[in-house]
A = this chain, B = another copy of it.
Amino acid sequence: MSAAKRFFTREQELVGSIKSWTDSPFIGDDCAVVADGVLLTTDTLVEGTHFLLPQIALRDLGWKSIAVNLSDVAAMAGRPRNLLVSITVPPSLDKVAFRELYEGMIECSKIYGAQIVGGDLTKGKALTIGITVQGQVHENGCMLRSGAKSGDLVIVTGDFGASRAGLWILLNQLDSAKDFSHAISAHVHPLPRLCESWSMVRRTAGRGALMDASDGLADALSQICRASDVGMDIDLEKLPIHPETVAIAQLAGADPVDWALYGGEDYELVGCIPESSLKDWVDDNSFRVIGVVTAADEINLKSGEKTASQLDLSKCFEQIEF
């Protein structure tokens, strides 16, 4: 079995089918790169699938819907410019709630230097927020998923599993929610890692690989390996996991490492860069090394020197199941 085959989930197979039907070279990365270095990407949040009301405030939902799209631009080290907002409005949403949703979207857009320029309103049963971003490739280069090479370091921003932990707190409506502000914030108010991605591309000029871990760290690692035709050794002891995530996993009777690998919705960056790029990168380096890229046909999970297991893609969150 080739690396390309081994690292497919069923959803990734479907995306492969769409790529062959449309004959588009762009499908399969976080953004499409079209003429003149223009980046295009779209992501949709659906009530009942991605969020439940009232567990997320409308203002947070607005913020998050923009942030997850900006994260896709960060995943290619691009600069977001213009946003289109398409909202399916259910009868239960009143104008006050609608305005709160918009305020969250506007706040996130402005902070990251993008602007809402248009959109579409329609009525329907479930609140659905579809965002499209048009951006520009960074002047120092564009980071794809396919640029990892054997010997590169695997690096990540932030920490993993916190969004899954925050979701668990929200679903279980615990009184202790105020003690878990990091985890809840990771879930409802993610920060797109644009500055971090620009810092990276300035140092690598596009050499390396990058994507975001929106569908989970395991998914991101496997997608980079598949696109780059490489393997990885990941050191589980180096995975950044916040103390709150560990505490919440204990409450939930779950394994925090499983949440970090497969939990999903951690809008952090996962990249592969040559070791030399890391050397003079001190001041603003918000990345941590969690492993190395190999020429092997597998992703090994190690604890220190001991090989623990291989990545289990069947644990990934999958949207589409046919």
- Copies, count: 2
A122–B131 CA distance with the chains assembled, in angstroms: 13
* Interface assignment of A176: CB less than 8 Å from any CB of chain B: no
- A118 touching B319 in the complex, CB below 8 Å, given contacts A32-B82, A48-B124, A126-B125: no
**Minimal Cβ-Cβ distance residue in B for A82:** B34
**Minimal Cβ-Cβ distance residue in B for A43:** B120
* Interface assignment of A8: CB less than 8 Å from any CB of chain B: no
Residues of B within 8 A of A35 (CB): 81
CB A43 to nearest CB in B, in angstroms, measures 5
* Interface assignment of A94: CB less than 8 Å from any CB of chain B: yes
CB–CB B117/A32 < 8 A: yes
Residues of B within 8 A of A21 (CB): 99, 102-103, 106
* Interface assignment of A254: CB less than 8 Å from any CB of chain B: no
A124–B51 CA distance with the chains assembled, in angstroms: 11
CB A30 to nearest CB in B, in angstroms, measures 9
Interface size class of A (residues with CB under 8 A): 35 or more
* Interface assignment of A26: CB less than 8 Å from any CB of chain B: yes
* Interface assignment of A119: CB less than 8 Å from any CB of chain B: yes
Interface residues of A in 210-268 (CB under 8 A from B): none
CB–CB B122/A319 < 8 A: yes
A99–B17 CA distance with the chains assembled, in angstroms: 9
Stretch at the interface among A84-92, A165-173, A181-189, A294-302: A84-92
CB A300 to nearest CB in B, in angstroms, measures 30
CB–CB A118/B46 < 8 A: no
* Interface assignment of A314: CB less than 8 Å from any CB of chain B: no
A24–B98 CA distance with the chains assembled, in angstroms: 18
Using a CB–CB cutoff of 8 Å, the interface residues on chain A facing chain B are 11, 14-15, 17-18, 21-22, 24, 26-27, 31-32, 34-36, 38, 40-46, 48-50, 81-82, 84, 86, 88-89, 93-95, 98-99, 102-103, 106, 115-126, 128, 130, 132, 134, 319-322
22 A-B residue pairs with CB within 8 Å: A14-B121, A15-B121, A21-B103, A22-B116, A24-B116, A26-B118, A27-B119, A31-B118, A34-B81, A35-B81, A42-B118, A43-B86, A44-B86, A45-B122, A46-B124, A46-B128, A48-B125, A93-B322, A121-B320, A122-B319, A122-B320, A124-B126
